[in-house]
Structure 1
Amino acid sequence: MNNVAFLNNSGENDWGGVENWIFKIAKALNKKGHKIFIISREESKLYKKAKKIGLNTKNIARISSAAFINPFQILSLSKYFKKNDIDTLFFCSSPTFKLGTIAANLADVEHIIYRRGSAKPISNKFYNKFLLNKISYFIANSEATKTKSLKYFSDFSDKKVKLIYNGVNLDKYKNVSIKKNIYSEFKIDKNKLLLVNIGRLSKQKGQKYLIKAVDKLRNSFDKFNLLLVGTGPKESELKNLVVELSLEKYVKFIGFRTDIPEILSQADFMVHTALWEGCPWVVLESLAAGLPVLATDSSSLPEIIEEGKNGYLAKDKNVESIADKMLMMCQQANLKKLSKGARETAERRFSFTRVVNETEKCFYKKK
């Protein structure tokens, strides 16, 4: 078994795709017998959650973008790697990539792995090219992430690139026990279709295009309600837009929720209008719940959504296209067929067990 470390730079209130991936993978690898070390800021949620379940934790000061020229932080981390015989290191951000790669090379860490979950280019800097050549593997969670991230590094070895999509616990979203009836809680007519959008209320998630599409949809079909699940910096702006368009009858903001499986199991379909993504957990969770997905054709979403099988794709940032596809799904007589296709997609491609096994293969060879 291996001594596996995860280097993270999250702040006190950070909990997103990166933190979620690290925590889930760390727990799973620990269960398989690997010794896990979480290196993060002690005020972070990741550090606290890891410590609570008994994983080895180390506090680290905030890692700046110039960490690779901070000799004290480099040497301190390298010393920690040597002391604990770390043979595998994962990191998921630009600052941790820079610091971790140098410190791990100084400590002769055997497997240095950069896992990237955002479909944005790594900046075209000479030191990034140098450091990329010093890692063992680059894990991308989608083809879009791989292509965009390595846009300026066409000579990076394909042998070092591993494509590992995100995955979910399939059992968690099957035969869900309903404790809260979402229709009763928010006084929704049971004869109306229930559409959901789950995610941070932010520019990236594109909810303003969704709300404008709802304004168009109601002129052709009005037997629906849309639940916006989540909070974020654009919340006030989006609520004002709903009032401005007189959509209070159709759109409900229900804030942060912990009962996502229950919400998904009661909805008719998911609408995901993100402007860019790596491999969105919420879309995979929807598929696992047997919930068809209408998504925009940005980033990795066309890799996940199979038109007519588990959902449909609308044009990115295009209100008319989103409204047209919403109408198509609202009038769809075979939502049950799409629901079956959604679950089949999740089972075939997006199980968390597959993610763990493929990630483990990057550093561990069973004897």
Structure 2
Amino acid sequence: MMRPVNICLFNTMQSWGGGEKWHYETAILLKNNGFNVMLITSTGSELHKKLQGIVTIQTIAAGNLSFLNPVKLLQVKKMLLAFKTDTVLMNLPSDLKLAGLAAKWAGIKNIIYRRGSALPVKNSVLNRYLFGKVITGVIANSIATKKNDSAKQCTAY
């Protein structure tokens, strides 16, 4: 018998917005369809409050430069491995850097970035690496976002 698929939603935004609403609705939908869902978020975030008691929750204090901290990367890697994560879904650029790199390091096969903005991604060495070697798929919230060059480098869902 196959085990259920384990999906990690990673979103450290403290406040509530469109990406957090998407993560909330996705977590509920996945849970209701038999997936094991873990949320990694900031302590006390709106998303944390809304999903408390519904899905497995791990917390982390993270910022834009947390991906440079090997202790933070190791902490996220350990969370992902302990949950036996099959897929990681991220929304924020800062979360992509931290969770994407930790997921790659942990050997997670599906590393998906939900892109909610049609603005172009900065053409930096780090972003070229993330979009070329780390992310395995992009979920675009609009056709304009899907047409963005950064999303073309990966499978768009």
Q: TM-score, normalised on structure 1?
A: 0.40
Instruction: Please report how far the alpha carbon of residue 109 of structure 1 lies from its aligned counterpart in structure 2 after TM superposition.
Output: 1.0
CA-based RMSD of the aligned residues comes to 1.5
5 Å-filtered alignment, 1:293-304, equals none
Structure 1 residue 99: deviation in Å?
0.7
Gaps of 5+ in 2: none
- Deviation for aligned residue 1:155: 6.9
Alignment of 1:67 with 2:66, yes or no, is yes
Question: What is the alpha-carbon distance in structure 1 between the residues aligned to residue 153 and residue 109 of structure 2?
Answer: 19
Distance, in Å, in 2 between the alignment partners of 1:116 and 1:6 is: 14
Alignment of 1:1-367 (within 5 A): 1-11=4-14, 14-52=15-53, 54-61=54-61, 63-133=62-132, 134-148=134-148, 150=149, 153=150, 156-157=153-154, 160-162=155-157
Structure with more contact order per residue of length (Cα contacts < 8 Å, sep ≥ 6): 2
TM-superposed CA distance for 1:67, in Å, is 2.2
Q: Aligned pair count?
A: 153
Q: Following TM superposition, where does structure 1 have runs of at least 4 consecutive aligned residues deviating by more than 6 angstroms? A: none
Structure 1 unmatched ranges of 5 or more: 163-367
**Could you tell me which residue of structure 2 aligns to residue 251 of structure 1?**
none
SS of the aligned residue for 2:24 comes to helix
Deviation at 1:70, TM superposition (A): 1.1
Distance change (3 Å), C-alpha of 1:25 and 1:155:
closer
Rounded to whole Å, the distance in 2 between the matches of 1:58 and 1:40 is 7
* Offset from partner CA, 1:22-46 (integer Å, 9 cap, x none): 0001101101000000110121010
How far, CA to CA, are the matches of 1:64 and 1:49 in structure 2? 21
Distance 2:152 2:48 in 1: 36
SS in 2 for 1:113: strand
Partner Cα distance (2:151, 2:43) in 1: 37
Q: Which secondary structure state, in structure 2, belongs to the residue aligned with residue 33 of structure 1?
A: coil
| Aligned partners of 2:146 and 2:152 also within 8 Å | no
Distance 1:16 1:45 in 2: 9
Shift of the 60–144 alpha-carbon distance from structure 1 to 2, 3 Å rule, reads same
* Cα deviations by residue, 1:163-206 (Å, 9 ceiling, x for unpaired): xxxxxxxxxxxxxxxxxxxxxxxxxxxxxxxxxxxxxxxxxxxx
Q: Which has the larger radius of gyration?
A: 1
Residue 10 of structure 1 deviates from its aligned partner by 1.1
Give 3-state SS (helix, strand or coil) of 2:52's partner. helix
